[in-house]
Amino acid sequence: MALQFSTNKIVLAASSFVLAGLLAIAFTGGCKSGSAAYPDRLTFFLTGDSRGYLEPCGCRRDQAGGLPGRATLMRAAPAANRVILDAGNLTPGGRPYEQMKTHYLMDGMSKIGYDAVNLGKTEAGLDLNTLRQMIAQSHLPFVSANVVAKRDGAPIVETSRIVTRGRLRIGVTGVTALDPIDCGPGVDVKPPLEALSSVINTLKGSSDYIVVLAFVDESTQRQIAAHFPEVNCILGGDVPQSSNTTQDANRAFLFNVTDRGKIMGEIDLKRKGNGYYAESSRGIKIMGDQVAKDTAMLALIARYKDELRDRRYELASAEGMERISGAASTADEFVGGTACISCHHDAHKVYEASGHAHAYTTLVKKNSQYDPECLSCHTVGYGLYSGFVDAQRTPQFENIQCESCHGRGKEHINTMQAAAATGSKVHKPSTLRPVTPATCIRCHDQENSENFHYATFWPKIAH
Ligand code: HEC
Ligand code: HEC
Ligand code: HEC
Ligand code: HEC
């Protein structure tokens, strides 16, 4: 189907012939059906740097991003005129939990109907087998000119692909950049310019418009534009901030998106003579509570949560929960806040009235109580030795409690009980962890608690 416009029907070796070709179509009136013409308008949608981000967590208001909003916004544009592209960095990493998220993200993206997806830095950071498995599992049209197998320098995915819209053939390739030391075992990333030269040479002959998905910094993007005047557009992600609008670079334009896919690029192209120019563009912040949620994506996220529940012990073990794998107990462990009440009654009363005391309930309401990421901030010690596992095995560690801030309490209690029994004073240094504003910021970070200030938050729970 995709190759219904076989390349030998329109042989346009040099760009100057494109004009002649378009005029012929325009004036002969021979092409009644819209699909056989060069489209007058196109919309490029660009996402990137998603790093497994499926939906906003809900920790604060005004959060952006996620598949349900992304799908709704993209589907608003007519399919015949939209081209959906991703600059890469889909995966947060190679841990089983991270791979699971990547799997669902890719599933959602293939349902949305991406036209090309680049391999970014995080993909190149995976080991070759994991990367190959991830690609094989997905139905996404990956491209990369420079992420290769280390052993023989062979490409891991297609180096380019042709996306057709009507008669228009859009050649898409992709690059990233990564130090050899950061590449996953068995993976190598060739220098972007070197890798692009042969690919672009081929695309020149087989496409009318050339897009480079470039998960590289802006100076490398500008080098690509300077070296390859045939390139029409460079869409990237390895930048500090997403673009609001396109920027010109040599004969191409640049547009970048970053920060977990919260902002999506929308670039409207208009045909003019023998080419297309960016008529308007914007970075759309996908506001979780303002954009209608696509039901297919919501169903996918529900399945993701079911799988988290079904695989919770396996995941907890992989997240570093030693007790699951049967390790013996040690001197210092989490004991749970009720063990502190008898000696610190007042502190406990303050705690019970605080938001911390229902942090786990908050997750249950969102059906996220099996999500390792959420649990690490909404329980006592998920992911740490002797911490929360799940409500069945460790109900005493639900919510944020004394030990979430003060550290494991078993040894402290033993010491204090022994001291009380002998009537002696405690002289040795505290076995508890010192609590500083940095302790709070581990959870109250920019992403999850934008308005956190120690001076205003501490008084609410002072004890
Ligand atoms: C890095 C730590 C961290 C992670 C990870 C985290 N949270 Fe939170 N969450 C917080 C903090 C801190 C707050 C309180 C924010 C504030 O009041 O400023 C919060 C608040 C919330 C709230 C609002 C509670 C209320 O009563 O208003 C919800 C809902 C929530 N989180 C759900 C989640 C879910 C679901 C996940 C996983 C997808 C998650 N959180 C992951 C730290 C985290
Ligand atoms: C048997 C009584 C007892 C129990 C149970 C107990 N504490 Fe204490 N705690 C004390 C005493 C007594 C001190 C004061 C010690 C001192 O001044 O040297 C203290 C001091 C502290 C301090 C301040 C000094 C320090 O070591 O940092 C913190 C924080 C603390 N306790 C937290 C906890 C937590 C959390 C728990 C529950 C896990 C807990 N305590 C359980 C008796 C107890
Ligand atoms: C282990 C993670 C974690 C740590 C450490 C932590 N918090 Fe929290 N905090 C949360 C979460 C999660 C919530 C939201 C709970 C909910 O409503 O579900 C929260 C909520 C709060 C709230 C209530 C917010 C509101 O406006 O209602 C205050 C106040 C607060 N935290 C203060 C602090 C302070 C001060 C510290 C450091 C001394 C701290 N927290 C350390 C995770 C943490
Ligand atoms: C959100 C983090 C947090 C939680 C939860 C928390 N504390 Fe604290 N706690 C602090 C901070 C911060 C201080 C002040 C530390 C300082 O000023 O050195 C403190 C001080 C204390 C002190 C007094 C220490 C002293 O030197 O006077 C005790 C005792 C104590 N906490 C016990 C508890 C107990 C018991 C619980 C659970 C019922 C609890 N805390 C829950 C953060 C927390």
pLDDT band at 25 (very low <50, low <70, confident <90, very high): very low
In a shared domain, residues 449 and 348: yes
Answer whether residue 85 is part of any domain.
yes
pLDDT, average across residues 420-446: 90
351 CB near ligand 4 (under 6 Å): yes
**Domains of the chain: total:** 2
pLDDT, average across residues 53-79: 94
In a shared domain, residues 142 and 62: yes
- Determine the Cα–Cα distance for residues 84 and 79; give it in Å rounded to an integer: 10
In a shared domain, residues 242 and 165: yes
Q: Which of 204, 210, 206, 203 is nearest to 235 (CA)?
A: 210
CATH number of the domain enclosing 446:
1.10.1130.10
Answer whether residue 368 is part of any domain.
yes
Q: What is the pTM of this model?
A: 0.91
Answer whether residue 7 is part of any domain.
no
In a shared domain, residues 287 and 157: yes
Answer whether residue 134 is part of any domain.
yes
Q: What percent of the chain has pLDDT over 70?
A: 90
User: Which residue matches tokens 């480079």?
Assistant: 212
CB atoms within 10 A of CB 304: 19
In a shared domain, residues 40 and 161: yes
- Determine the Cα–Cα distance for residues 142 and 338; give it in Å rounded to an integer: 53
462 CA to middle of ligand 3, Å? 12
Burial class (CB in 10 A: 0-12, 13-18, 19+), 282: middle
Ligand lying nearest the CA atom of residue 334? 2
Answer whether residue 291 is part of any domain.
yes
Answer whether residue 308 is part of any domain.
no
pLDDT of 24 strictly over 80: no
In a shared domain, residues 117 and 222: yes
In sequence order, the 6+-apart residues with CB closer than 8 A to the CB of 453 are: none
In a shared domain, residues 252 and 368: no
In a shared domain, residues 215 and 82: yes
In a shared domain, residues 282 and 420: no
Question: What is the domain range of residue 23?
Answer: 16-298
Res 39: pLDDT:
95
Pocket of ligand 3 (CB under 6 A): 355-356, 358-359, 362, 377-378, 400, 404-405, 435, 439-440, 442-444, 457-458, 460-461
CATH number of the domain enclosing 89:
3.60.21.10
167 CB near ligand 1 (under 6 Å): no
In a shared domain, residues 375 and 285: no
In a shared domain, residues 404 and 337: yes
Answer whether residue 365 is part of any domain.
yes
In a shared domain, residues 293 and 330: no
301 CB near ligand 1 (under 6 Å): no
Answer whether residue 320 is part of any domain.
no
CA dihedral 418, 423, 429, 432 (to 10 degrees): 50
Note the residue count of the chain: 463
pLDDT, average across residues 5-17: 34
pLDDT, average across residues 281-300: 94
